[in-house]
Structure 1
Amino acid sequence: MLERICIGVDGSDCARRATAVGVAIAEAADAHVDLVYVRKETDETAEQDANAVLEDALESCEDASVQVDGHSLTGKPATRLVSFADEHDADLLVLGRIGRTGLGKRLLGSVVHSAFRQSDRPILTVPEGDGQVEISDLLVPTDGSEAAERAAPMAGTIATDHDATVHALYALDLATAVGPFSAGGLTGPEIERLEADRKAHVDRLADRLRSDDAERSIQTVVVRNSPHRAIRDYVDEAGVDLVVMSSRGQTSALGQVLGSVTDRVLRTVDVPVLVVTDDR
């Protein structure tokens, strides 16, 4: 259950979009919202700038059906945002991502990077965008590990609040499954066995997602691709509105390191990504 959501604001387009998405999630959950601006400087000009940003952010939330408060803090942005979330026991920290590079990859700001390093709370990163904020389809990828499946409770909570369909996905990377020392590749029956094994993993995730709501709409899928490409393509093809995933998973000859996958997903998908650490 989401009861308190902390949203970092700085006046940027990404932060405005993050505010819109964060407030939409809060409204569906009937959660309290804290808009937090952190300034490095303590002079009067910096304070005036902070007040202007907060006023603009609060004005954008005037029609919200939940309580929204503004806070101006001083210090290192990521550190103060994380400490504020801890002090107020926030269930979710929402931050904006910044735009694409010339190579088509998203840049992750230093605040986002630092927040991930410092916080063990779920963090939602939101890219630039416009249009109506709606969450009707969620994607939960898994590598079959318990760590990866710890994203299930958060995904289930948001799915319930928004009456959304949950898509459980396993990416079968055949190149990784073959291994570096196999010259002959995999036979058809071997691939079928691998797919059946991965299907068992997504079915287990689906069972976990249904544990608190037997009627929850869930779709399961196994795709042949590298994990981050499979997630990126599925987001586009299935019209996914939100990805919910763990910060890391298992490492094995036939598995993936979900942590590195998470980083790549954050840099390539055009929808919000909610990352749950495997410590919570």
Structure 2
Amino acid sequence: MYATILVPVDGSDESRAAIEPAVGIARAVVGTVHALSVREPLEYDLPLDDAETIEAEADRRSREALTAVVDRAEADGVDVVSEQRTGVPDREIGNVVDERGIDLIVMGTRGATAAATGRAGRRDRTRIGSTVERVLLEAAIPVLAVPSDGPTWSDAGSGTPERIVVPVDGSALARESATHALEFAAAVEATVHVVHVIDETRLALDSVSQRLSELLREGAHDVIEPVRFDAQDRGLEVRTDVRRGVPAAELVSYTDDVDADLIAMGRRGGRADDRDDVRRRVLGGTAARVLDQSSRPVLTIG
């Protein structure tokens, strides 16, 4: 799987966070890394000298960003190609996905523009930059979003995840995403943690009877068991758990508790939580919140 892996970079620390995971995955699955740098066109008419200076600096940063990917891949013996384009970043990313038959996109959760905005003192309400968000909304292939401020896979001496959290909610979409996550876990020989969160936002669980509480837990195990059996059939080490609470918060907390390296989940989920929020309605409320809150990489599928 993942024969072709796209890594968009812009020279920022945030985008550089994606390089090591992309190369590690490519090495594990014998894939090719496609490095892409997109230079955005100038939005204003400027004197020729100023425009040329800005263009030259943008070109330098773009080439340096690509060189960082190429050098890292070649050092690990991974096949790599690089490309520089001019245009709107998310559109060019989509074009490359279609033209090159990309199987996986690996991106830093925020790019240079979003990072600069945060440094300028504006309230930083999300880890996800606008370009990454648009890619997540539009991409038909898996997207791995990598924060720059969390633990790295090399911290444990590996370039790939060793422990993967796979959330399941009983929906067909979640089951399909879990199957993909297990395929990936088998490719990188990771331990799988299958977890279901009993959603307290749907039920007033403090007031339910003990019998209903038991039925909810039984239902949670019924959701988990097919994925557990699938993981075992693939020869994977698998652990399971049931939690209660707000799904996104519980998933992020659980991932920290088991010191997992990755959350692999459906992008859109079984339902959308915020009916008035288009972004969350398309992404799925839980996926959007996990992406916002997690300091660890999140692989969104579907």
Q: TM-score range by the shorter chain?
A: 0.7 to 0.9
Shift of 1:104: 8.0
- Are residue 76 (structure 1) and residue 52 (structure 2) matched? no
Compute the TM-score of the two structures, normalised by the length of structure 1.
0.87
How many equivalent residue pairs?
268
Deviates more, 1:160-169 or 1:56-65: 56-65
User: In the alignment, is the contact (CA less than 8 A) between 2:32 and 2:80 conserved in 1?
Assistant: yes
Shift of 1:243: 0.6
Q: Secondary structure at the match of 1:2?
A: coil
Partner of 1:120: 140
User: In the alignment, is the contact (CA less than 8 A) between 1:243 and 1:271 conserved in 2?
Assistant: yes
Alignment root-mean-square deviation, CA: 2.5
Alpha carbons of structure 1 residues 21 and 110: separation in structure 2 relative to 1, 3 Å:
same
Q: Secondary structure at the match of 1:107?
A: coil
Compute the TM-score of the two structures, normalised by the length of structure 2.
0.81
Instruction: Return the alpha-carbon distance in structure 1 between the equivalents of residues 166 and 214 of structure 2.
Output: 23
Contiguous gaps of at least 5 residues in structure 2 = 43-51, 274-280
Alpha carbons of structure 1 residues 251 and 52: separation in structure 2 relative to 1, 3 Å:
closer
Instruction: Return the alpha-carbon distance in structure 2 between the equivalents of residues 265 and 136 of structure 1.
Output: 20
Letter in 2 for 1:157: E
User: Any idea what the Cα deviations from partners look like across 1:56-91, whole Å, max 9, x if unmatched?
Assistant: 332233312210111101111011012101211111
Letter in 2 for 1:20: E
Q: Calculate percent identity across the aligned residue pairs.
A: 27
Instruction: Return the alpha-carbon distance in structure 2 between the equivalents of residues 110 and 104 of structure 1.
Output: 13
Letter in 1 for 2:61: D
Q: Secondary structure at the match of 2:5?
A: strand
Shift of 1:47: 2.9
Q: Secondary structure at the match of 1:177?
A: coil
User: In the alignment, is the contact (CA less than 8 A) between 1:79 and 1:118 conserved in 2?
Assistant: no
Partner of 1:161: 187
User: Which one of the candidate residues 225, 240, 243 is aligned to 2:260?
Assistant: 240
- Are residue 140 (structure 1) and residue 166 (structure 2) matched? yes
- Are residue 38 (structure 1) and residue 58 (structure 2) matched? no
- Are residue 271 (structure 1) and residue 280 (structure 2) matched? no
User: Any idea what the Cα deviations from partners look like across 1:190-228, whole Å, max 9, x if unmatched?
Assistant: 1011110111001122234445x1x21111111111100
Shift of 1:96: 0.4
Partner of 2:78: 66
Instruction: Return the alpha-carbon distance in structure 2 between the equivalents of residues 217 and 210 of structure 1.
Output: 7
Q: Secondary structure at the match of 1:195?
A: helix
Instruction: Return the alpha-carbon distance in structure 2 between the equivalents of residues 224 and 62 of structure 1.
Output: 45
Partner of 2:211: 189
- Are residue 150 (structure 1) and residue 176 (structure 2) matched? yes
Instruction: Return the alpha-carbon distance in structure 2 between the equivalents of residues 220 and 167 of structure 1.
Output: 6
Contiguous gaps of at least 5 residues in structure 1 = none
User: Any idea what the Cα deviations from partners look like across 1:249-277, whole Å, max 9, x if unmatched?
Assistant: 32499xxx881000000011111001011
Deviates more, 1:197-206 or 1:150-159: 150-159
- Are residue 92 (structure 1) and residue 104 (structure 2) matched? yes
- Are residue 109 (structure 1) and residue 164 (structure 2) matched? no
User: In the alignment, is the contact (CA less than 8 A) between 1:152 and 1:208 conserved in 2?
Assistant: no
Instruction: Return the alpha-carbon distance in structure 2 between the equivalents of residues 68 and 118 of structure 1.
Output: 25
Letter in 2 for 1:13: D
User: Structure 2 matches for 1:44-59, cutoff 5 A?
Assistant: 44-45=55-56, 46-59=58-71
User: In the alignment, is the contact (CA less than 8 A) between 1:122 and 1:275 conserved in 2?
Assistant: yes
User: In the alignment, is the contact (CA less than 8 A) between 2:192 and 2:239 conserved in 1?
Assistant: yes
User: In the alignment, is the contact (CA less than 8 A) between 2:271 and 2:284 conserved in 1?
Assistant: no
